[in-house]
Amino acid sequence: MAQQEVHLDRERFCCSICVDLLKDPVTTVCGHSFCKSCINNHWDKGEERGSYSCPQCRQTFTPRPVLGRNTMLADSLEELKKTGLQAAPADHCYAGPEDVVCDVCTGRKLKALKSCLNCLASYCEKHLQPHLQSAALKKHKLVEPSEKLQENICSRHDEVMKMFCRTDQQCICYLCSVDEHKDHDTVSAVAERTERQRELGLRRQTIQQRVQDTEKDLKLLQQEEEALNGSADKAVKDSRVRELQERLEQEITELKRKDQELKQLSDTEDHNQFLHNYPSLSPLSGSTHSSSIRIRPLRDFEDVTAAVSQVRGRLQDILSETGVSV
C-alpha cells in the first residue's frame, strides 16, 4: 500500500513537460504546475506568436503571465522525497530503439501511448492527457503509436493529405485537389477507405470459404486413404493420395497466411497508411484444385485396378494356350 501511495504521489508531483519531479514549481492561472525552467522554455518558443498556452489544458494567455513560486507545492515535494518518492519513471516507460517516442518529452524520451492524426505527433501517457480532457482535442483521431505520421503530409503544400485521387491512385491534400488534380476523380480519403475496406472484406470471405472447401477435400482424402489399407496396389494409391494431401495442405497454409495479411491491413487505423498499403497486396492466386478432387482419387484408383485385372486376364489366357497351369 505504501509503495502504491508513493507511486501516486510521484504522478501527482511530476512536471508534464519534462516528466520528472517538479523543480522550483510554479503554477499557471489555469491551476497547472510546472518546473519554472520548463514552462519558461516552452513559452520562449511561442514568443513570436505573441500568445502563450498551458501545455496541460491548452488555455492561452495574453500577455505572458508572471509566474510566482508555489511555496506550498515545493515544501510538499521536499517532504515526499524523504519518504522515498522516485524522481523518474520506471525504465520500461522509456522508449527503446524499436519504440515510437513521445514528441513532447525533453531529455530522455518516454514511449508514446498514442499518435494523433490531427496533430501528427505522438504522446506518452502524461502528455496525452490534454487530448483526453480538452473538449476540442477530444475530437482528434488517436491511433496506435506510429512512426509514419509524416507520410501523411503533402510534400508540395505541407498540408495533411485528407483526399484521394482515384485517377492517379494516390493520397493528396485539399490544395492538390484544386490544383494539379482538379480535373481528376477525387474523393475524401475516408470515402476511399470505406470502399476499399468493403472490397477487402469480400476478399477475406472468398479466402475463408476456400479454406473451408479445401479442408473438406483434405478430410475426404484422409478417409479414402484409410479405405486403401486392404488394397493389393496400396503403395501406388498411397503415393497418389499423399501427393494430393501435400498440395491441399500447402494451399490451406497459403490461404491462411493471406487472410492474416488482409486482417492486418483491415485493422490499420490510419486511412492514408491503409490506402498506401492496399495496392501492395499480392493477388489471390487461383485454386490449385476443384471439387472434382473429391471424386478423382477413387476414380483413378478404380482405373488402376481395372487395368491390373485386364493384364492378369490376358496373362492367364496365354498360359492356358501354352499348356502351363496357372
**DSSP character string of 134-148:** -TTGGGS-EES--S-
- Best CA proximity match to 101, nearest among 88, 91, 115: 115
Sequence-separated (6 or more) residues with CB below 8 Å from residue 280? none
- Best CA proximity match to 118, nearest among 100, 99, 101, 136: 136
Is 68 domain-assigned?
yes
Is 323 domain-assigned?
no
298 neighbors 279 (Cβ within 8 angstroms): no
| Residue 6: predicted pLDDT | 42
**Domains held by the chain: number:** 2
**Mean of all residue pLDDT scores within the chain:** 78
Strand locations in 181-315 (E):
186-188
Is 72 domain-assigned?
yes
Q: Per-residue pLDDT tens for 48-99?
A: 666 788 887 778 887 888 888 888 888 888 877 666 555 555 555 788 778 8
Mean pLDDT of 291-319: 49
Degrees, nearest 5: CA angle 148-153-159: 155
Is 315 domain-assigned?
no
Grid cell locating 14? 511530476
Degrees, nearest 5: CA angle 45-95-132: 65
CA 114 from chain centre, in angstroms, equals 13
Residue 319 banded pLDDT, cuts 50, 70, 90: very low
Sequence-separated (6 or more) residues with CB below 8 Å from residue 43? 52, 64
Angstrom distance (rounded) from CA 259 to CA 61: 53
Strand partners, 60: 53
Residue 2 banded pLDDT, cuts 50, 70, 90: very low
Is 156 domain-assigned?
no
Q: Write down which residue in 73, 88, 103 finishes a domain.
A: 88
Mean pLDDT of 216-232: 72
Mean pLDDT of 1-27: 66
For residue 97, cis peptide bond before it (omega within 30 degrees of 0): no
H/E stretch holding 257: helix 234-266
Mean pLDDT of 223-251: 70
- Best CA proximity match to 275, nearest among 192, 217, 202: 192
CA 45 from chain centre, in angstroms, equals 35
Grid cell locating 276? 498506401
Q: Residue 5 pLDDT > 50, yes or no?
A: no
Q: Write down which residue in 88, 108, 141 finishes a domain.
A: 88
Strand partners, 14: 21
The position carrying cell 522554455 is 41
Angstrom distance (rounded) from CA 101 to CA 95: 6
Instruction: Give the least confident one: 151-165, 208-222, 230-244, 312-326.
Output: 312-326
Question: Could you tell me the sign of the dihedral formed by the alpha carbons of 164, 168, 170, 174, in that order?
Answer: negative
Strand partners, 142: 116
Is 270 domain-assigned?
yes
Is 15 domain-assigned?
yes
Q: Residue 164 pLDDT > 80, yes or no?
A: yes
The phi, psi pair for 164, rounded to 5°, reads: -135, 130
More confident residue, 19 or 253: 253
Is 220 domain-assigned?
yes
Q: Write down which residue in 40, 68, 88 finishes a domain.
A: 88
0.85 exceeded by pTM? no
Residue 46's domain comprises 2-88
Q: Residue 304 pLDDT > 50, yes or no?
A: no
The phi, psi pair for 134, rounded to 5°, reads: -80, 130
Task: Indicate which CATH number applies to the domain containing 21.
Answer: 3.30.40.10
